Structure 1
């Protein structure tokens, strides 16, 4: 579990609204090994300096907000836009602790996916909420190699999305084919586009650069 931030300790000690709910959400975020910071007068959780989630208390609800929530798959349909014109951020809202406890596995899963998205370097766009299309070249590879399609389908939603955005980022068909071929083995091994493949990382599956010290 990550280290608690004294500023967040003080915030929770003095806050009057949603103390129990925010304390539970904090425990979930810390269990996901994110760095706890205090930004915009709220508990915020980061990965290598990048904002992943932030907690907040409002009049009618408290929330955990995902800075790149529009890039998450959201199979449970629990993410909402904080405002009508919000582009990337998404919230899960709660009215009490039992609601948080009921969704705790989902929250943990979404945080893990958000970390995968951040590690993959995926950036939100105006159409980020739409699922990435499967390019024709990938469909053709699935038809040619059914085991590859099965392996791709077994990846986490965040890993699938990162691959699709990378493949679709190529303008030419031959470049898309080359990108797909490059990652066939990695996908068959169940790894994401940014996962460690050297086998020496101390934090599998995400590569933490440990292998660099062994070169």
Structure 2
């Protein structure tokens, strides 16, 4: 008999974790969380707020906690997937179904749910305003570009400015400006292709 496939294809990168993800889903089905799809993968929410996600990668399958930084982690199993980048997300990684102890996993999930109900969440840090003299000159010379740039949210404006100003050489800054001008005029954000 065929095992049903987990509906997590894009977060199951090499499709070797179907049974394991079904196991995690069966555990999550015992909670009040609601399953949804976000960013092409399976996420569990409470009142519209992200609490848990699951997925499979090359060497492991995982359950991650969006505000895992607040979990007590008594078993010391949680890892920060991107140290220095990810502030609050934590993962619990497994390499086999045998490693998944339903009772322990549920304890972590119930704690995450309780934290969500209490409103515990990490606040994003305010990004320092970036000023780009090179780009400001460009905006002054091209009114259509300036008007198009103003239509972007402050966050997306920041992404463009950061992209320009992280270049060390003036020549690179200029080439980056030339690269993003058509995107801005077409109302395409710098990272829209990843969403």
Cα displacement string for residues 145-198 of structure 1 (whole angstroms, at most 9, x for unaligned residues): xxxxxxxxxxxxxxxxxxxxxxxxxxxxxxxxxxxxxxxxxxxxxxxxxxxxxx
Q: TM-score, normalised by structure 2?
A: 0.55
Rounded to whole Å, the distance in 1 between the matches of 2:121 and 2:15 is 36
Partner of 2:102: 104
Rounded to whole Å, the distance in 2 between the matches of 1:53 and 1:87 is 15
User: Contact 2:8–2:41 at 8 Å: present in 1 too?
Assistant: no
Cα displacement string for residues 99-129 of structure 1 (whole angstroms, at most 9, x for unaligned residues): 11xx221110011111111111112269xxx
Rounded to whole Å, the distance in 2 between the matches of 1:125 and 1:48 is 18
- Secondary structure of the 1:28 match is helix
Partner of 1:90: 90
- Secondary structure of the 2:76 match is coil
Q: TM-score, normalised by structure 1?
A: 0.50
Gaps of at least 5 residues in structure 1 are 1-6, 127-215
Which of these two proteins has the greater Rg computed from alpha carbons? 2
Partner of 1:162: none
CA 1:27/1:84 → structure 2, altered by over 3 Å: closer, same or farther?
same
Rounded to whole Å, the distance in 1 between the matches of 2:67 and 2:46 is 13
Structure 1 runs of 4+ with >6 Å offset: 9-12
Gaps of at least 5 residues in structure 2 are 1-5, 125-195
CA 1:9/1:122 → structure 2, altered by over 3 Å: closer, same or farther?
closer
